[in-house]
Amino acid sequence: GNSVTQMEGPVTLSEEAFLTINCTYTATGYPSLFWYVQYPGEGLQLLLKATKADDKGSNKGFEATYRKETTSFHLEKGSVQVSDSAVYFCALSLLKAAGNKLTFGGGTRVLVKP
Amino acid sequence: DSGVTQTPKHLITATGQRVTLRCSPRSGDLSVYWYQQSLDQGLQFLIQYYNGEERAKGNILERFSAQQFPDLHSELNLSSLELGDSALYFCASSVAAQGSGYTFGSGTRLTVV
């Protein structure tokens, strides 16, 4: 089956530090890959996505590159801010006749301290 | 505002009771998905509807059921509630095309006491 594995948190950083959250996947087929972010007390928001190998998704200073050879989609940001404190979810989807279900990783909590 | 509306935002009820959670998808989206988020099990896919028909089923208990109405809003019915059903229930919608991603609502927090 399909699955997503991401590093467990919490990840605690100082402001302006470099952030990396590792994500690897297993899929039967050629999935689309996503990063979602969940701020405290809110729903999930799409952060970025990539739909084919070597695509780079980017948004709000975050980047992730679809690496088919390593089945990975690691999230990076060069200089984090306190406002980046949130839970980050890696996810994949495969469109099939049975639907377009998203499979999520377990989430990584990131805490950025001033 | 994501465009996906969930009501109510909070719900407190007793064990054994039944509740209904409501979701209105973003305008133009035909697919509705329900997810349960709990501390111990993370985000679990429950069920998907597309244009009124059930399209995919995940880890949904037999005590839970859902439907999507002609106006595309969806309801998730949870019955014979147990303490372990306490969780955040998210609805999401999409155009059901690969790569489109979802738009999530802000969730309904269910507390069973």
For B90, the 3-state DSSP assignment is strand
Number of Cβ within a 10 Å radius of residue A5: 15
pLDDT tens-digit series, residues B96-106? 655 567 899 99
Nearest by CB to B107, which of A43, A89, A99? A43
Contact B110, B91 (CB under 8 A): no
- CA torsion sign for A97, B88, A48, B29 is positive
- Do the chains contact at B98 and A32, CB–CB below 8 Å? yes
Contact B14, B112 (CB under 8 A): yes
pLDDT of residue B98: 53
pLDDT tens-digit series, residues A14-49? 999 999 999 999 998 889 999 999 998 888 999 999
pLDDT at B109 over 60: yes
Chain A contact probe: residue of B5, B6, B37 with most A CBs at under 10 A: B37
pLDDT of residue A94: 79
How does residue A4 score in pLDDT terms, banded at 50, 70 and 90? very high
Chain A residue numbers touching B90 (CB-CB < 8 A): 43-44
- CA torsion sign for B46, A1, A103, A100 is negative
**Beta strand ranges found along chain B (DSSP E):** 5-7, 10-13, 19-24, 31-38, 42-50, 53-57, 64-68, 74-78, 87-94, 103-104, 108-112
pLDDT tens-digit series, residues A105-114? 999 999 999 9
Q: How far A14 CA lies from chain B's nearest CA (Å)? A: 26
Q: How far B111 CA lies from chain A's nearest CA (Å)? A: 15
- What's the start-to-end Cα distance of chain A, in Å? 41
Chain B residue numbers touching A32 (CB-CB < 8 A): 98-99, 101
Q: DSSP letter string over B25-41?
A: PPTT--EEEEEEEETTT
Structure tokens that stand for B92 in this block: 């999401």
pLDDT of residue A2: 86
Mean per-residue pLDDT, B17-37:
94
- Do the chains contact at A46 and B103, CB–CB below 8 Å? yes
Mean per-residue pLDDT, B53-61:
89
pLDDT of residue A99: 62
- Do the chains contact at A107 and B43, CB–CB below 8 Å? yes
CA distance A56 to A45: 18
pLDDT tens-digit series, residues B66-88? 999 999 999 999 999 999 999 99
pLDDT at A57 over 80: yes
pLDDT at B93 over 70: yes
pLDDT tens-digit series, residues A61-95? 999 999 999 999 999 999 999 999 999 999 998 76
Chain A residue numbers touching B4 (CB-CB < 8 A): 43
CA distance A46 to A93: 13
- Do the chains contact at B96 and A42, CB–CB below 8 Å? no
Structure tokens that stand for B75 in this block: 């309801």
Contact B15, B110 (CB under 8 A): no
